[in-house]
Structure 1
């Protein structure tokens, strides 16, 4: 049985060129070509599609946004194929469920192998893309460490710090009391203590303090 593929790209020359390449291989059936992510999602929601090849930068809905929806609402496996290797797009596409991320300047045989691997449930990320992900994650780790170093955790007891982290997650005093098995009044007392130690005035400022490491009095 052939692997059912669609191609989404706003460049008609690339769409048709990719279609010609894929139809030259006996493993694939190109069901259709579309010009944006919105059309790709609509088609996959109405038809049985094995792999959706998605360009990143498209009007109406880009490939990353389409990847997120396809992963949540269909059985179609998204494969990002693009001329761009932007860090932001790479990380978001992988985070939202893209099974592969390749650059368009690859040899047709490599693209063929990637589609087959993605169809079998494997993840395919080109080495140059993987290297960029690693560098980006290393940078995120460094920024995270710098963020925490900006907060003087010695100001707070272990219980206060737990409450700060839960406030940052959006929990109410009632929710926090249930999670920590203490009374709602006790939580309120801890919040008052935290506000006093930081000079902050309300919960939103506490959340910003936890998430950024910076005191914001606005």
Structure 2
């Protein structure tokens, strides 16, 4: 069964170009292309759509606002594909339920794989997006983390912080002077306590305090 997609972008050249590209993949069925977020929301409310591919800056309703409505009122997974990597858009999109956030200069194969991953229940964020989230946390200079620290041990909090910095299990083990197997056990515990699926979500959770992506 094909993954049903709509594309929302106010630039007709990009909109139709993306339709042509995605239609070359047998996994996808592009149901429609629309010009703004309001049209995307209306379509998702009236039709069965698996993924809504949304630009950020659009008239009538932008992609971040559309993400909020689509994620809360339909079973469609919002996926941001944009030229904009501004911190405010990234954080707002994730908080509103975006399941993916990639830039338009991403290779088509990467976009295809990311959309398939989102369809199967994962959250996909480009490395630059994760970096922006980290920068946003540092710039905020907030003394308290946004997560509920009472849920975790000091060691788990340390591991989450290192995951958010982008360290691998091997690098974390070296940093904390414990084995990689022990790190894996701690990560399993963190996932169990939060209901998250993988380490990328742990990083986003640590940086934003949000578990419902």
TM range, smaller chain: 0.5 to 0.7
Secondary structure of 1:53's counterpart equals strand
Structure-1-length-normalised TM-score: 0.65
Aligned position for 2:16: 16
The question of 1:94 aligning with 2:70 is answered: no
Match of 1:37 in 2: 37
Give the Å deviation of 1:138. Answer: 2.2
What CA distance in whole angstroms lies between the structure 2 residues aligned with 1:12 and 1:39? 14
Deviation at 1:135, TM superposition (A): 1.0
| In structure 2, distance between residues paired with 1:22 and 1:49 | 15
Higher relative contact order (CA 8 A, sep 6+): 2
Work out whether 1:53 is the aligned partner of 2:53. Answer: yes
1:137 matched to 2:140: no
Rounded to whole Å, the distance in 2 between the matches of 1:33 and 1:119 is 19
Name the counterpart of 2:188.
none
- CA shift for structure 1 position 22: 0.3
Distance in 2, matches of 1:76 and 1:65, equals: 14
Q: Map Cα deviations across residues 128-155 of structure 1 (whole Å, 9 max, x no partner).
A: 1110011102222x1x339xxxxxxxxx
User: For residues 44-193 of structure 1, what are the structure 2 equivalents within 5 Å?
Assistant: 44-140=44-140, 142=141, 144-145=142-143
The SS at the match of 1:42 is: helix
- What do the CA deviations read for 1:76-119 (whole angstroms, capped 9, x no partner)? 00000001101000000001100000000011000000110110
Greater Cα radius of gyration, structure 1 or 2? 1
Structure 1 unmatched ranges of 5 or more: 147-218
Q: Deviations along 1:2-25, whole A, 9 cap, x unmatched?
A: 000000000000000000000000
In structure 2, distance between residues paired with 1:112 and 1:69: 24
Aligned length: 144
SS of 1:49's partner is coil
Unaligned runs of 5+ in 2: 145-213
Q: Tell me the C-alpha RMSD between the 2 structures.
A: 1.0
Separation in 2, partners of 1:97, 1:8: 17
